[in-house]
Amino acid sequence: MSEFSNWDIIYNLLMAARWTVLLSLTAFVLGGLVGLLLLMARTAGGAWAKGLVRCYVELFQGTPLLMQLFIVFFGLPLIGLDISPWMAAMLGLTLFTSAFLTEIWRGCVEAIGKGQWEASTSLGMKFTQQMRYIILPQAMRIAVPPTVGFSVQVVKGTAVASIIGFVELTKAGTMITNATYAPFTVYGFVAVMYFLICYPLSLFARHLEGKFRHVAR
Amino acid sequence: MAYAFDFGAIVPHWELLLDGAILTTELTVVGAVVGVGLGIMGAWARASRTPVVSQIVGVYVELIRNTPFLVQLFFIFFGLPALGLKLTEFQAAVLAMIVNLGAYSTEIVRAGIQAVPHGQLEAAQSLAMNRLQIFRYVIILPALQKIWPALSSQIVIVMLGSSVCSQIAAEELTFGANYIQALNFRAFEVYFIVTGIYLVMSILLRMVLKVLGNYLFERRRHV
């Protein structure tokens, strides 16, 4: 049997943590882009588009992330797309993130006074111009703190990807536990590493909240 | 070759899904009731005048909110036996849910308490109520009423999160689904149906919590 020192455990977990970070970043960026498109459909689209986006959000907020990953992972091969756990995790988490971000940002856009829309319409601006020059610059200021706060949820969500076999921090923890029989130590370290990734984000979100509240009043 | 979907293959195993849904409901009810109770105590302790107590609760809240539920679950189920605390799958799952929801609801309830107008506290103090009486009779109900929607969402999140408890072989809904797909290899069909069941359960849970909220808060307002 191979001997694992605490340093070996930490080293191996750190190597795996890179995948957690990469998956989080990818899901967050892609999810943000999809979320932005959905937000446009939600604010500008007709009744149909609005209803569809609402259903989309409802679907992803009303079902477990694990089921979403399972459906992507087991569903796509059925239509002939052979995908790896990495692709499935990335795709699943992107959709999950986009639904939540759309909902968060919708609230922010709605918080912008109706007068701003009316004033910009009276200046003859088209929807894209209104969004680009009037609404988004204001909505973004309110949106930053909750968006940063949600990034913590994305990082924690990546742990679920371990279940479809993607080797990130949690999966590495399980694999090392199977080799060392030291679950208390290993999962302790795993938890500490997630904490080290998430806590700064939480603090940053809280800091931004305080800052923007000050500006708003 | 096109894949032939066969949702009928799930039908003979409906009892597994029913048992799973019942266990998920049990986990959720126990987790929610005890977890929110823990959150109320946590919020009370967070407002404590002894800094140590408040700080300990603060550390608990931050530790739980910044680590994944799955890791908390593994730590409790696989890690704690090393300290001599051996739990069954159900106990570990329910404990993880309580600890998790306890941390979130501590923060949520605390926000509600801060939103209670200061004049109410001063009025209660002028009636010579002690801290516990003020908390019990003046603060907690309006505070809970204010944050009930946020608390309801968190309870739904915890219910959905319980699907990862299948990983420690707690026999809830996802475990039932895993079991069925191991029997008939109809993975997509099973997970598709179970996703639908979760969706219905989350909608029902939200409705129940709304009714419960009306019952808890509306009536008292008129009495």
ipTM, 2 dp: 0.91
**Mean pLDDT in residue range B37-66:** 93
Q: Does B85 touch chain A (CB under 8 A)?
A: no
Going by pLDDT thresholds of 50, 70 and 90, the confidence category of residue A217 is very low
CATH of A6-216, one of 1.20.1260.10, 1.10.3470.10, 1.10.3720.10, 3.40.50.300: 1.10.3720.10
More confident residue, A213 or A13: A13
Q: DSSP labels for B19-33?
A: HHHHHHHHHHHHHHH
| CA B172/CA B6 separation, integer angstroms | 23
| Runs of H (alpha helix) within B47-139 | 51-65, 69-74, 89-114, 118-126, 131-133
Whole-prediction pTM: 0.92
Say which residues have a Cβ less than 8 Å from residue B54's Cβ, sequence separation at least 6.
Answer: B45, B46, B47, B48
**Mean pLDDT in residue range A145-149:** 94
Q: Is there a contact between B161 and A64 if contact means CB atoms under 8 Å apart?
A: yes
Burial class (CB in 10 A: 0-12, 13-18, 19+), A24: buried
| CA B74/CA B34 separation, integer angstroms | 20
Domain boundaries of chain A, sorted by first residue: 6-216
Q: Is there a contact between A160 and B74 if contact means CB atoms under 8 Å apart?
A: no
Window 158-187 of B: residues touching A by CB (8 A cutoff) are 160-164, 166-167, 174, 187
Best of A61, A185, A187, A198 to mutate (most B CBs within 10 Å, chain B)? A187
| CA B176/CA B18 separation, integer angstroms | 9
In 10 A of CB B32, how many CB atoms?
23
pLDDT tens digits, B17-34:
999 999 999 999 999 999
- What chain B holds in terms of domains, given with CATH numbers, is 9-222 (1.10.3720.10)
Q: Would you state the pLDDT for residue A85? A: 94
Q: Would you state the pLDDT for residue B82? A: 87
Q: Kind and range of the H or E element at B181?
A: helix B173-184
Say which residues have a Cβ less than 8 Å from residue B153's Cβ, sequence separation at least 6.
Answer: none
